[in-house]
Structure 1
Amino acid sequence: MKEYLIALNKDEDTISIVNVETNEIEKTIKTDHNPHEVIVSADRKKTYVACSLGNTVDIVDNETFEIVKRLTHPDFNFPHGLGLTKDGKKLYLASTYSEKVFIINTETDEIEKVLSTFQKYSHMVSFSPDGKTAYIPNIGSHNLTVIDVEKEEIVNHIPVGPGPEGVAVHPNGEHLYVANQDDNTLFVLDTNSYQVLHKRRVGSVPVRLVFSPDGKYALIANRESNDVSVIQVEHKVNGLVRPWEIKRIPVGRWAGGIVFNEDGSRAYVANNKTNDISIINMKTLKEEGRIDVGIHPDGIAYLKI
């Protein structure tokens, strides 16, 4: 088995395929214009790349690392966030400026359904651990669109903080974390009532949020403060148990996409303006190295094949 990082270099229209063992680029793939977000299929055979200014989704064969298909649609307008259903059979794509969510069959790689959010700047996609709900943060409407995955219907819009972008549900399924880039806050919501349980200050312009595989930490990439907030989801002090920022790790400039390796021992952060990837040791919670990639890496994925 080999482990790779798939880093999207959005301002040179390429993908860097990085061997995790050597931290060296094994291959560079030319893409459509402005590759922004990326996700690996459930069977690990394909990688989907949203090319936001090319208005396409490039599909990469993970055996050859070649683009084998380019998906387009008249209503793609800055296609961006990507998310897979729990069974891996459907891919959700958020198109920012058309304010639509596209549901793609991953067997045929064809669009099956289009949902209009009617919200401003529908940007990312995140699923609940049970796979029943998808959340779409709408940066300009300061809310989340809630989609019933079984019905493939929009069922709610939840107000959150200003400029939500990073969104993820804790592996326990009980708490929804939202990073609001316009006021540098983290909201923690109850997934049943959508009541805001906690509000926390984080770094400047938080844009991505991911949980460690064991659910112990949430990592938040803070674009303009060039660091990563480490949220311990059950921080215990003076008899209180609550989510708390326990550290802010300096990384490269303009931190963006974050991904963990399979066992959660390391996290990787794409740094847009230093053209590299920070390697974070999750035991020490320190940056232990950098990997040079292309110009302005943003979206990043982990692949083990």
Structure 2
Amino acid sequence: MAEYLIVLNKDEDTVSIVDAHSYEIIKTVETDYNPHEVVITPDGKKTYITCSLGNKMNIMDNDTFEITKTLEHPDFNFPHGLGVTPDGKKIFMASTYSEKVFVIDAEIDEITNVFPTYQKLSHMISFSPDGKTVYVPNIGSHNMTVVDVESEKVVNHFPVGRGPEGVAVHPNGRELYVANQDDNNLFVIDTETLEVLYKRRIGTCPVRLVFSPDGKYALIPNRESGELSIIETAFELKGKVYPWEVKRIRVGVWPGGIVFNPEGTKAFVANNKTNDLSVINMETLEEEAKIKVGIHPDGIAYLVK
């Protein structure tokens, strides 16, 4: 079984295919302008790449590591965040400046639905663990849009902090974590009541949020302060359990995209301005290596095939 890191290099319009064990780049793939975010289908067969400044989506065959199809649409205006349903049949994509959500049929790779959020700067896509709900953070209107996956309709909006960008639902499905880049803080929200359960101050300009596979940790890259906030989601202190920042470590300049290996033993952080990845040992919570990639790496995914 082979394992790879799929790393998007925004300022050279390429994808680095990196062996996840040797850390060697085995292939460099050309893309359209400004590859930004990435998602891999659950079966590992295809990779979807939003080329934000090129207003295109590239689709890569993971057997050959070749771009086999490109999607375009008049309302692709900075296509950005991506997510895939657990069954791999649908791709959801947020287009930031058109403030719309696109649905792509992953079997035929065609756009089947487009609908507006009616909010400002709809930027990312985050699925609930059961695949029934999509959360879309709206950077400009400081709120979250809730989309029902089956009906492909907006069902709710609710306020969060200023400039929400990093967002993910805990694997238990009960808590939504939101990193607010303008407030430099983390909200932990009850997914049923939408009550803010906890607020935590983190670093400067948090831009992503990813849970470890077991849900023990949430990792948040703080772009402007060049740090990685490590949140233990059930930290016990004096008989009470909280989400708590247990460590903040230096990584590269402008950390962005993050991905875990399937075992959760390592995390990989794309450092936009140092053109490398930080390898985080999740047992020691330390950076153990750096991997050189292309210019301005950001979107990153882990492929097992």
- What interval of TM-score do these two structures reach, taking the shorter chain for normalisation? over 0.9
Using the size of structure 2 for normalisation, the TM-score is 0.99
RMSD: 0.5
- 1:221 corresponds in structure 2 to 221
- 2:50 corresponds in structure 1 to 50
Per the TM alignment, residue 115 of structure 1 is displaced from its structure 2 partner at its CA by 1.1
- 1:204 corresponds in structure 2 to 204
Gaps of 5+ in 1: none
In 1: Cα distance, 2:151 partner to 2:66 partner = 34
Per the TM alignment, residue 86 of structure 1 is displaced from its structure 2 partner at its CA by 1.9
Per the TM alignment, residue 21 of structure 1 is displaced from its structure 2 partner at its CA by 1.5
- 1:277 corresponds in structure 2 to 277
Gaps of 5+ in 2: none
Equivalent runs, 1:27-176 vs 2, <5 Å: 27-176=27-176
Structure 1 runs (4+) deviating above 3 angstroms are none
Question: Aligned AA for 1:65?
Answer: F
* Equivalent residue pairs, number: 305
In 2: Cα distance, 1:227 partner to 1:140 partner = 24
In 2: Cα distance, 1:272 partner to 1:123 partner = 18
Q: Deviations over 1:163-208 (max 9, x none)?
A: 0000000000000000000010000000001010000001110000
Equivalent runs, 1:18-29 vs 2, <5 Å: 18-29=18-29
- Secondary structure in structure 1 of the residue aligned to 2:209: strand
Per the TM alignment, residue 227 of structure 1 is displaced from its structure 2 partner at its CA by 1.0
In 2: Cα distance, 1:275 partner to 1:198 partner = 34
In 1: Cα distance, 2:264 partner to 2:238 partner = 29
In 2: Cα distance, 1:130 partner to 1:27 partner = 34
Per the TM alignment, residue 43 of structure 1 is displaced from its structure 2 partner at its CA by 1.2
In 1: Cα distance, 2:42 partner to 2:86 partner = 9
Per the TM alignment, residue 214 of structure 1 is displaced from its structure 2 partner at its CA by 0.5
In 1: Cα distance, 2:12 partner to 2:151 partner = 39
Per the TM alignment, residue 94 of structure 1 is displaced from its structure 2 partner at its CA by 0.2
Per the TM alignment, residue 88 of structure 1 is displaced from its structure 2 partner at its CA by 1.2
- Secondary structure in structure 1 of the residue aligned to 2:268: strand
- Secondary structure in structure 1 of the residue aligned to 2:197: strand
- 1:240 corresponds in structure 2 to 240
Percent of aligned pairs sharing the same letter:
69
